[in-house]
Amino acid sequence: ISQSSAMSARLSTIMVFVRDLPRGVQFFRDGLGLPVTVAPEDPHNPPFAEVNAGPVTVSLKASENLATCSTGYSPMLQFEVEDMDATIVRALSLGGALDGPIKYPPTGKAACLRAPGGQMIGLFEPNMDLKLMQEASLAQQQRRGG
């Protein structure tokens, strides 16, 4: 197959299995601020919900199967947030739990928490001053032709 006709894979959906679908939806919607695009109450749909996480959809599917809901065996979902402190307060109030201290690398703030269903959630708030300096430096290089 030539490169021009080859199609690359594109991540579009991450499925997260939860034991308590309404609580999972509440956490992703109210705790992380993600809009619900498919509500679990829709009688035409099986027991699942979807939230919009930018270019990727997070699909929450109800499951009682222990293997699919085992704490610590899920992918880690990483979200960039504008206000780390407010996001953590909301997430904790909805049953989330911090998994270690908030870290402060030069690039911003980073935290890890568990959703009420045990899923690992990473939060990152970029250092806006650093981001602005990097953008200014890149713009300056482009003006110089390099």
pLDDT in tens, 16-67: 888 889 999 999 999 999 999 988 776 666 688 999 999 999 999 888 776 5
CA distance 8 to 20: 35
CA distance 146 to 143: 8
Q: Which domain holds residue 112?
A: 13-64+72-144
CATH classification of the domain holding 51: 3.10.180.10
* 8 inside domain: no
Average pLDDT over residues 117-133: 84
* 2 inside domain: no
Looking at residue 8, what is its pLDDT?
62
* 4 inside domain: no
Longest CA–CA span in the chain (Å) reads: 59
* 105 inside domain: yes
Q: How many Cβ atoms from other residues are within 10 Å of residue 30's Cβ?
A: 13
Q: How many separate domains does the chain show?
A: 1
CA distance 8 to 138: 29
